[in-house]
Amino acid sequence: MDWINYHHLLYFCTVVREGGVSRAAEKLRLAQPTVSAQVRQLEDVIGQPLFERQGRRLVLTEVGRLVYQYADEIFTLGQEMVETLKGRPAGRPQRLTVGVANAVPKLVVQRLLQPALSGQTPMHVVCREDQQDRLLAELATHTLDVVISDGPAPPHVRVKVFSHALGQSGTSFFAPAPLARSLRRGFPGSLAGAPLLLPTQGTALRRTLDQWFGLHGVQPMPLGEFDDSALMKAFGPAANAVFPAPSVIEAEVMRQYRVQVVGRAPQAVERYFAISVERRITHPGVAAITGAARADMFAG
């Protein structure tokens, strides 16, 4: 691969951002076959496919994700050059690319990343959500600066990474106010017959909760199970059901979903880690995340 046609790269990026060839063609004011042909030419130059089809959707391949990340950086630099030549201050913030394991609650992620966004060093934060093993593979190629996960890197990972403990939180159970009031008396036994939403089997939190239920002699009958914790929280009020979430974000959950606490399970602990290729953290954004997590968010 000796030369990249930047028009091809632009069409590729537009397809990714617009979510498909037809929308990209409308955005670029070109015919769909033209856009498709330009993307194919880019694939020919690179020598690998950038998209794969899943049903009716085009999904980026691993190579496609990597090319898109570089392309985004290239066009950002190009825009900065134009602004600088026009005499406008660039003030380009430092880039922080964060991989988020999909089991980590979104409100926890927001709390963890906020110090990087509001710190003294200007940051341009890019978040990518995926399974932990895929994120660690991207960490190994330095595509990511850090991975936020609900568990340390497993011992079988081939690349050398370091798991920095951020803190831990017990679990609280939430429900719409009338249901929460009715279940508080007799908690946790009251959960046995309650409409209950839980994480799916195999997740770290589900294993912890199952152990906690067993310890208290509770046999729950889940109304639903969810991979996505944000979706589970959204379903809770809509289904008039109970759902768990980390106690450390109680206030945010109550405010955002208009629910109340049924009860707390301090022994049902979920732990959070920042995984990086650095034993000693030097990236200012990662340092802001780990420092604030330990000193503030999980200080109790």
Looking at the fold, whether 272 and 294 belong to one and the same domain comes out as yes
Looking at the fold, whether 67 and 110 belong to one and the same domain comes out as no
Assess if residue 233 is contained within a domain.
yes
Angle at 97 between CA 93 and CA 99, to 5 degrees: 155
Query: Does the pLDDT value for residue 222 go beyond 70?
Result: yes
Assess if residue 1 is contained within a domain.
no
What is the residue-wise DSSP string for 163-214? EEEEEEEEEEEEE-HHHHHHHHTTTTGGGGGS-EEEEPTTSHHHHHHHHHHH
- The CATH number linked to 34 is 1.10.10.10
Looking at the fold, whether 110 and 209 belong to one and the same domain comes out as yes
Q: How many domains does the chain have?
A: 2
Looking at the fold, whether 275 and 163 belong to one and the same domain comes out as yes
Assess if residue 14 is contained within a domain.
yes
Decide if 271 contacts 226 (C-beta within 8 A): no
Assess if residue 68 is contained within a domain.
yes
Beta strand ranges found along the chain (DSSP E): 51-54, 57-60, 94-101, 123-130, 146-149, 162-175, 196-199, 222-226, 243-246, 260-276
pLDDT in tens, 117-132: 887 778 889 999 988 8
Looking at the fold, whether 14 and 101 belong to one and the same domain comes out as no
User: So what's the pLDDT on residue 17?
Assistant: 84
Query: Does the pLDDT value for residue 277 go beyond 80?
Result: yes
Decide if 214 contacts 230 (C-beta within 8 A): no
Find the mean pLDDT for residues 125-154: 88
Looking at the fold, whether 123 and 240 belong to one and the same domain comes out as yes
User: So what's the pLDDT on residue 71?
Assistant: 85
Looking at the fold, whether 152 and 24 belong to one and the same domain comes out as no
Looking at the fold, whether 140 and 71 belong to one and the same domain comes out as no
Residue 68 lies in domain:
6-85
Residue where a domain terminates, one of 28, 52, 85: 85
Residue where a domain terminates, one of 85, 118, 144: 85
Query: Does the pLDDT value for residue 133 go beyond 90?
Result: no
pLDDT-derived band at 231, boundaries 50, 70, 90: very high
pLDDT in tens, 256-269: 999 999 999 999 99
- The CATH number linked to 272 is 3.40.190.290
Q: State the residue for tokens 């000193």.
A: 295
User: So what's the pLDDT on residue 59?
Assistant: 85
Assess if residue 209 is contained within a domain.
yes
Q: State the residue for tokens 């946790």.
A: 188
- What's the pTM value of the predicted model, to 2 decimals? 0.68
Looking at the fold, whether 103 and 63 belong to one and the same domain comes out as no
Decide if 127 contacts 109 (C-beta within 8 A): yes
Looking at the fold, whether 174 and 120 belong to one and the same domain comes out as yes
User: So what's the pLDDT on residue 84?
Assistant: 61
pLDDT in tens, 52-110: 888 777 888 888 888 888 888 788 777 767 766 665 555 567 889 999 998 899 999 99
User: So what's the pLDDT on residue 232?
Assistant: 95
Task: Supply the mean pLDDT for the chain.
Answer: 88
Looking at the fold, whether 191 and 124 belong to one and the same domain comes out as yes
pLDDT-derived band at 213, boundaries 50, 70, 90: very high
Decide if 234 contacts 259 (C-beta within 8 A): no
Decide if 283 contacts 146 (C-beta within 8 A): yes
Assess if residue 49 is contained within a domain.
yes
User: So what's the pLDDT on residue 244?
Assistant: 97
Query: Does the pLDDT value for residue 279 go beyond 60?
Result: yes
User: So what's the pLDDT on residue 86?
Assistant: 62
User: So what's the pLDDT on residue 216?
Assistant: 94
Looking at the fold, whether 108 and 77 belong to one and the same domain comes out as no
User: So what's the pLDDT on residue 122?
Assistant: 81
Query: Does the pLDDT value for residue 287 go beyond 80?
Result: yes
What gap in Å lies between CA 244 and CA 175, rounded to an integer? 9
Assess if residue 192 is contained within a domain.
yes
Residue where a domain terminates, one of 50, 85, 120: 85
Q: What percent of the chain has pLDDT over 90?
A: 49
